[in-house]
Structure 1
Amino acid sequence: MITWLIALPALIAAFLATRLLLRRRGKAGLRSVLAADAVLFAGALALLLVALSSGSAQADAATAAAESSGSGSAALIGAAIAVAGASIGAAIAVAYTGAAAIAALSERPELFGRAMVIVGLAEGIAIYGLVVAVILIGKA
C-alpha cells in the first residue's frame, strides 16, 4: 500500500509531462514517448528475465523453495493475464456493440431487449476470464 502512495504522484507527474510533451511537439513528441516506452519495456523485460532465471550461486534448499513457490506464482501471473486480457477484450467488445446498440435504438426503440442481450454477451467475455483465473488459482 505504501508503494502505491509513493508511486502515484510519480505516475501522475509522468502522465502530465507526457500530455504536455504531446501537445507542444506533436509527432516528434509522440516519437520520443514511444522511444521512452520501448526503453521501459526493454528494461522491464530484462528485469523479468533476471528474476525468473535461476542463478548457480543459490543453494539447493533455496532453489527447492523457489521452485515450489514458482509454480504458485506462475499460476497467479497466468490468472492475472487471463483476467486482464479478458477484461480488455470485453471492454473493446462492449464499446463497439454498445455504440451500435445506441445507434439502433435511436432509430427503432423497440430493439432495446435485443440490443441489451448482445451487449451482455459481449460482457460475458470478462466472466470467462474470471472463470479461467479461478481454475488457475485453484491448481496453485
Structure 2
Amino acid sequence: MQIILILLAASIAVGTIIYGYKAMKNGKKGSIKKAILTTVSAFGLVMVGAIISTIFGGNVFAETEAVASEAVAAGSSLGDGLKYFSAALSTGIATIGTGLAVGSVGSSAVGAISEDSSILGKTLIFVGMAEGIAIYGMIISILILFV
C-alpha cells in the first residue's frame, strides 16, 4: 500500500511539473497561489496517507527470520542506518548550499570582472569561500561515519 501511495505522490509531482511547463509555454494566465495550493494539498494528502499506512499498516517488505538474524550477526542496526542517512544528508545539504552560493557569487564576479578586470583575484577568493561550504559538509560526513 505504501508503494502505491508513494508512486501516486510521485505522479502528482511529475504531472504538476509537466502541466506547469505546458502552461508557461502556452502563456496561460491564472492564479499561481491557487495552483500551488491545489498541488501541495493533493501531494500532502497522499504523503500523509503513506505515512499513516507505514505506521499502522505493518511492514511491506517483511523479512524472514534468516534475513533478520543475518543482519543482527553482521552488526547492522538502526543506528548504522541513521549514521549513513545523516552523513548523506549533511553532504547533500552542504552541496545544495554550495550550488546556490557559487551561482550567485560567480555571476556577480563575472559582472564585476567585466567592468574592472583588476579585481579578478578578489572575486576568486569569494568564489573559493563559497565552494568551501561543500568541503565542510564532506568533513562532517567523514566525522559522522568514522568517529
RMSD: 3.7
Counterpart contact for 2:16–2:39, Cα < 8 Å: no
Q: What amino acid does structure 1 have at the position aligned with 2:124?
A: M
| Corresponding position of 2:106 | 98
Provide structure 1 residue ranges, at least 5 long, that are not aligned to the other structure: 1-6, 52-61
Matched, 1:113 2:121: yes
Rounded Cα–Cα distance in structure 2 between residues aligned with 1:105 and 1:138: 42
- Distance in 1 between residues matched to 2:46 and 2:128, nearest whole Å: 37
Report the 3-state secondary structure (helix = DSSP H, G, I; strand = E; otherwise coil) of the residue aligned with 1:136: helix
Q: Aligned pair count?
A: 124
| Greater share of residues in helix | 1
2:55 corresponds to 1:50: yes
5 Å matches for 1:1-140?
15-20=17-22, 24=28, 25-27=30-32, 28-43=34-49, 46=51, 50=55, 65=72, 68-139=76-147
- Give the % identical residues: 25
Shift of 1:14: 5.7
Q: 1:91 to 1:20 in 2, by over 3 A?
A: same
State how far apart, in whole Å, the 2-side matches of 1:31 and 1:138 are. Answer: 43
Partners in 1 of 2:139 and 2:52 — Cα distance? 30
TM-score between both structures, scaled by the size of structure 1: 0.66
Give the structure-2-normalised TM-score: 0.63
